[in-house]
Every structure is written in structure tokens, then in C-alpha cells.
A and B are shown apart, each in its own frame.
Chain A
Amino acid sequence: MRYALLVAWREYAESAKAKGFWISVLLMPAILFLSIQVPILLEQKATPIRHFVLVDQSGAMAGVVNSALEKAQQKRVLEALNAYAMKNATPQPDSAEARRAASSLVEFSEANPQALAAFMSKGGKDYYLKQLAACLKPGAPPFKEPRRPYQQVPLPRGIDTNASLSSLASQLKPYLRGEKTYDVDGEAVGLYVAILIPSDLEKQIVRPRPSGGSESSGEHLGADHQIQYWSTDVTPLKAGYGLSQEIEAAINAEIRRQEYLARGLDSAVVHEVERTYAPFVSLNPKKEAGQEAINSTDVVKQWAPSGFVYLLWLSLFVIIQMLLNNTIEEKSNRIIEVLLSSVTPGELMMGKLMGIAAIGLTMVGAWMVALFGILSWKAGGASEMASQLLVILKATNLIPLFALYFLMGYLMYAAFILSIGSVCNTIKEAQSYMGLLTVVLMVPLMTMTFIPRDPNGPLARILSWIPLYTPFIMMNRAGADPPRLDMIGTFILLLATTALALWMSGKIFRIGVLRTGQPPRIVEMLRWALRKAN
């Protein structure tokens, strides 16, 4: 054992000096940091104020569009206020006044579908901040209101608002395409969006026929007579969330409201009806009594393990590659024979296994420290995702499971790598075997995004019972409380497979390390593994 430890120590010390190791250690935290920080920065600083023009020839919709935009802005303000409160309010207020203030803010929480309406009706930001003032932590920074992402500007000079929509569109296109800018209050602006509403909008409204059957509309007059949303940026459409959706929804709501009125309903009644809803809650029976309601944290919890699967995959790939390099180095540099006059092949293999395991644990340990560090730093105000992830990491066993599956996965794959490394004299020779292993390892990477959609479904369960994939798939399912049979059964199978793989690899290693010349075929290696010791 002493000799194995000496080998392990050298492996550890030398690998820890390698550049590749430090790149691996630092890269993950850097990616994590950037993936949290860049969206924040973009939102705060880099996203330009987007200018839009609104031409409402019908004269009925400009107010609707503007109030929709205002509502969207108030929603952003409320979200920012909630995040600000979470970060800066005392969790357990001591004075009665503070407690009353805190409870008065509960109705604005994300769980209440009417939070925005309540927020806006009660006076918005000023009301919220006044209530919050009583329970703010001392020294809390002042609240910063999010910027309005969209700003309306007048039409460029010389464009007639009464021209046909197609003529308007063709005149606006150079501004929308970024080819031209024009002067607004001394600032050169380009256009991000142009919203054009035709004068005969009323005639274009699509109504179902009262007698049923096909829908009818006024006259089919082509694009000139539809509401037009012009923009080169199509992403908000895809995301289903953006300016065009907000405007479309607002205009249709207004048209329906007018329709109610036209059919003789009282506007107050319509307003009331619109605010009528049945409370709906999604519940998970596996959660603690009283806290079964599914919230956005639960959704993150189901998906968070995918991140760990990716880390698992990455870390295993990095360190088995390291193990392969170190094993082949001793063969290609012809050090192996001197070593074998001092240590037995078993001690050498054990030493390598332990040394590289220690390197791997150092690497993932550093990742975990970085993960907690960055999440704690960013939690609260700036990043809601960071706060949710932090809560999940602290409340679940994701990290211990990650450590366990990392170690087991490492030992199992290390067995293959040591066998390959022992029979190959150069990295090039090892590549054909590694190609095969990489194909095997691609599967969990490909299924990574499918598994969380149905974590206890047939695909997930079947793959979990294949030991090569157990660490990845079970990690992937960890957020969804898999059945105990799957947890324990697959682990025992994984343990047995790893033990068998290491035992066989020990036999191949003993024969392989002293071999020179062409690497053997896999069948031949298996024969070595299965034959009795000589």
C-alpha cells in the first residue's frame, strides 16, 4: 500500500502541475459565472433602448397599445421589487409594524395571479417601497427601477401617417433594416419595430358566424388591411413572449371588450368577468405536507440535475483522459520497466487509480466550492435562478449523489482506461479504443435533456439499469425522487460491475504493461482477463 500511495502522490502532484488541470478547474466556474453575469449585464447595460413607431389609422388602438406596454413595464418593476425585497428585507421582522408591512406585500408575490393588477391599483412602486421600508435591512441599497426596453418615437419627418400601409412600410423599411437613422430630440435613432394599424380595422375583425360553420370577416383585402408588426428581430415571436405578443393580446382583449359592449353587456360587468378566476394549484404528493404546491423552484429542481449530469460527464471525460495520458506516458517513455522493478503492477495500477481519483475530486471539489460561492454571491436581487439553485442545492442530496456517482463512474471507466492504456504505446494507438468509449459516453449526453421530461419513465428506467449509464441517468433523475428499487438496485449493479471491471482490468494491466508492438484486439484482451493467473 505504501508503494501505491507513493505512486498516487506522484500522479497527483504531477497532474496538479499540468496546465490542462488548471484550465479544467477554472473553466467551469468561469462558464457558470458568465452564464449568470452576462444576462444580468445585458439586461442592465448592453440591451439598447429599442425605438418603435406606432401608426394607428383606426384611431382606436393607440391607447390600448400604450397601456399594454405600461402594464408590461409595471410587471418588470414588480418582479424587480420582489427580488429586491427578497434580498434586502429582514426575513423575521421584529416589530409589529414591520410584520404588518411584510404581510401586506404577500399579495404581490409571484404565486398570486392577480398580483400585477393589485400592484398597479394600489399605487405601484411607490406603495410597495413605502410598505417595504419598515422591514428593510439596515444599509440596503436604494431600489433601481428597470429601464423601459421599448420607447415610442414619432415617425421620421416627411412620412405621411395617412398613406397606405404598404407605402408606409416601404418608407420605414430602411430604418427598420438599420440602413437609415433619423433625429429624435438630438439623438440619431433607428427603428426596432413599426406597428401599423389600418384605418378599416373594424371591418377586418374575424367573427364566428352566429349559425355556426365557417368564420367570416369583412372584406379580404390583403396585408394592407391587417395589423402589421414590422421587425427584423423574430426571436420574441419564437419565444412566445415579447412585444408583438403583448400588443396582439392587448388589441384582441380590447376588441373583445368592445364586442361585449356592442352586444349590450355592461362595461363594469365585463371588467368584473375578466377578473374572475378559479384558483388552480399544481401539487406534488411527494413533497412535505402543507408544502406540496409546485412552484418555479420545483421546476428548477427537476432540471438542475441535468447540470450535474453535464458536470459529471465533463469531469469524467477530463480525468479519464488524464489517466490514459499518464498510463501511456510511462509506456511510451519506457519508464514502466524501472517502475516494475520497484512496485508490482497491482500497486502501480492502484496508485494511478487513487492519484487520478484525487485529482478528479480536487477538480469537482473546486467546482462545487465555486458553484456555491458564485450562487451565494449572485443570489437574491440580481439573479432569481441563482437563488433558486442555492435553495435546491442546500435542501436536496444532489451534491452527495454527484460525489458518489462521480467516484463510481470514475472507477468503472478508469478500469477500461487502464486496460487500454496498458496495451497501447502511444496516444494514437489508443485512439481507436477511445473512439468506441466516446460513442458509449455520448448516450447520456444526448438523453440529458429527455430524461427530466419524464424522469421515471421507461426510457429513464431502462437506461438506469445499464451500469455504463447508471451514474449519468440516475444523476439526471435525482431531482424527481426515483423509486427506491431503482436507487438501490442500480447502485448495487453499478458496484458489482465496477468491481468486476477493475478485477479484469488488473489482469489485463499486468500483461499489457510489459507488452510492446501492436495493441491486441479487444477479444484478446478479454481472453487475458478471463484466463487463470500464470
Chain B
Amino acid sequence: MSTPSLGKGDGSSGSVLELREVSKNFGDFKAVDEVSFSLSPGSICGFLGPNGAGKTTTIRMILDIIKPTTGSIRVLGHASALEVRRRLGYLPEEKGLYKKMKTWAVVAYFATLKGLSRRAARQRACELLEKYGLKEFAKKPTEALSKGMSQKVQVLASLVHDPELVILDEPFSGLDPVNQQVMEEIIHDIAGRGRTVLFSTHVMQHAERLCDRIVLLAKGRKIFDGTIAAAKRTFPRRVRIETEDSIAPLEQLGEVAAVRLLTVPNGEAHPNGSQQWELELHEQADPQAVLQACFAQRIRLHSFNQSDPTLHEVFVRLVGTQAKEAS
């Protein structure tokens, strides 16, 4: 298999994908509003956002299925994805197969549409089906496949030509946990071969495990673009402590922005009379300062827990802020 030919001749920026102030209006409705971002070769980028954020519309514009109202898109250095369709793989959110066609034939058909010869397409299709445990279904019509298997076949059909840029729209939707795991492995595989992956999802756990980078969209606008660590840094740091002493002295600390008493699951007080508190810190504040203050004020700690926010929390917060701004 050939190695990707990125960089030279593929645009001056060296990016696999570049969007510049792309907008799309449907009548009076602004589905996508001046979105810009770019992808560097070999990266896995999560394209996140709540339902109706404009992810699918943006992806369709990237693929030149629909045209942007304003702005420009360059894919693999070309103005239209159709010019480089052989080097692109796409798995839409709404996906399906020809029910009466044999499984290998469907995969091979999409491979021929991506420029493979009929013979090569057939060979590749059979190889992939064997690799992902579908060999015995290769000669059966796709209507004989279970839902999980048919989704796997759809993914294989979009990857059969070993594309340089793979765009997956909600690849995890409708999959059971086992198949979600398989899907994650497939994405890792693609990136492992130096290909670039852009996938959309609104399930943050997948993004957190897979992505080098996320682009977050809400109401058609980009509200975050960066690494996961950077995303988490936008979220105030928190410290959880458990103590039977008063924490009033901590509330006075400069680092602490807010204090909250956490309820015990069964509603009863801890047997030793202790309580759990969550302290929200100001940006750039160091949790160690809280620990030192506890020692200094002789607050006896049963536990001290300094946790990073989950991407889910970051997402809800960022999207929530956007929603509030918009309303």
C-alpha cells in the first residue's frame, strides 16, 4: 500500500484540511457561522457539538456535497473534495447498504468509485472483511448481517481505498459497547498508518480517549479549538475534601472561588460526622495552596482529592455558556 503523499504540492500550509470563515445559510437560518479550523497530517480530531450544532452541514461542505454560502475550504490542498475523492474516506451519520448486494460486492463497489480497479477492489474488500472477522459473510447479501456487522461493513466500505483523510460522522452512534470498542480500534489503526481522521460525536468519552485535538461547535459557531488539555484548562479546577472540622478558614483563601457541600449518597451524615466539600478554584490557582492552608488551619482531612474535569463537564459548560449567550 502506498504511503500518503502529504505536504509537497498539497497547499502551502501543509494542512490536510483547512476551513476559512465558512458559513452556510439555509434561507434565513444560519446553520454554520464563520467556522475556521485546520487539520495537520496524522492527527485525530474530534468534531464535537450538541445536536444541531452544524457538524453534519460542515462535513457535507468539506466533502463538497453542498456548497458553503461564504468562506473557503481546501481539502488535501484542493478547492473541492471531489478533485481528491480517491484520497478521501467518508462515513456519514445516516448510512446504509444495498440490501440485496453481496457484502464483498458492496465494499468493492465503493472501492471502484474511489478509483480502484475492479480486481483490486475485490481483493481489498475480501482482505478487509477477513481482517475484521466478516469473512464468512462476504458472499451473503448485506440484509443477512446484524446491525453491528453492517455498520462495520459501512466503515470498511469508507476505508477500503486507504484514504489519506477519513471523515466519520457520528461513527459510534447505534453501536453496542463492544462494537464501540472495535470502532475506536479502527480509528487508532487509521491514525497509526499516518492518516488523518476527523470524526464528529456528542459522546465525549470517545473523543477523550481518541483525540489529539477537538473542535467544538455550538449553534453553528466554533466555540473551542485546541487540545483536550487546553479544553480542560478552560474549566475551573476543583478540590474535594472530607473533614469533620469547619472549613470556614478555607473560604477566605484567595485561591478559592466557591465552596459547595456535597451530599452523601444515602442522605445520612458520615458515621464519624465528617462532610464532603467541593472547592472551586480561581483560574491559575494551585490546589497545593489549599492543602497547605488545611495543614496551617489544623483542619483534619479524611480525604483530599484534586481531580481534572472530564471532557463531558467541559463540553456541558462550554456549550451551556454558548446557549446562555445566545438566548
Contact = CB atoms under 8 A, between A and B. Distances in A.
B110 A334 contact: no
Nearest to A15: B100
A267 to B, nearest CB: 81
A339 B113 contact: yes
Contacts of B91: 338
Main secondary structure of the interface of A (DSSP, over half): helix
B157 interface: yes
A514 B109 CA distance: 21
A340 interface: yes
B94 A337 contact: yes
B149 to A, nearest CB: 16
A343 interface: yes
B66 interface: yes
Contacts of A10: 109
B200 interface: no
A337 B158 CA distance: 11
B190 interface: no
Contacts of B114: 342
Interface string A23-44: 0000000000000000000000
Interface residues of B, number: 28
B100 A14 contact: yes
Contact of A329 (B67, B90, B98): B98
Interface stretch (B81-89, B239-247, B267-275, B315-323): B81-89
A341 interface: yes
Contacts of A7: 113
A337 B170 CA distance: 14
B223 interface: no
A332 B98 CA distance: 10
A333 B94 CA distance: 9
Contact of B81 (A332, A335, A337, A341): A341
A344 B82 contact: yes
A343 B113 contact: yes
Contacts of A341: 63, 65, 81, 85, 88, 90, 92
A342 B113 contact: yes
Interface in A297-345: 329, 332-335, 337-344
Contacts of A335: 95-98
A191 to B, nearest CB: 59
A521 B50 CA distance: 32
A342 B94 contact: no
B36 interface: no
A242 B277 CA distance: 110
B85 A342 contact: yes
Contacts of A342: 85, 110, 113-114
A86 interface: no
A514 B66 contact: yes
Nearest to B158: A338
Interface string A259-290: 00000000000000000000000000000000
Nearest to A533: B67
Interface of A: 3, 6-7, 10, 14, 17-18, 329, 332-335, 337-344, 514, 534
Interface of B: 60, 63, 65-67, 81-82, 85, 88, 90-92, 94-101, 109-110, 112-114, 154, 157-158
23 contacts: A6-B109, A6-B112, A7-B113, A10-B109, A14-B98, A14-B101, A17-B100, A18-B100, A329-B98, A333-B96, A333-B99, A334-B96, A335-B96, A337-B90, A338-B90, A338-B91, A338-B110, A341-B88, A341-B92, A342-B85, A342-B114, A343-B113, A534-B67
Given A338-B154, A341-B63, A343-B113, 9 more contacts: A17-B100, A329-B99, A332-B96, A335-B96, A337-B65, A337-B95, A338-B110, A340-B65, A534-B67
Top 10 A-B pairs, shortest CB-CB distance: A333-B96, A334-B96, A342-B113, A341-B90, A337-B92, A334-B94, A341-B63, A340-B65, A335-B96, A6-B112
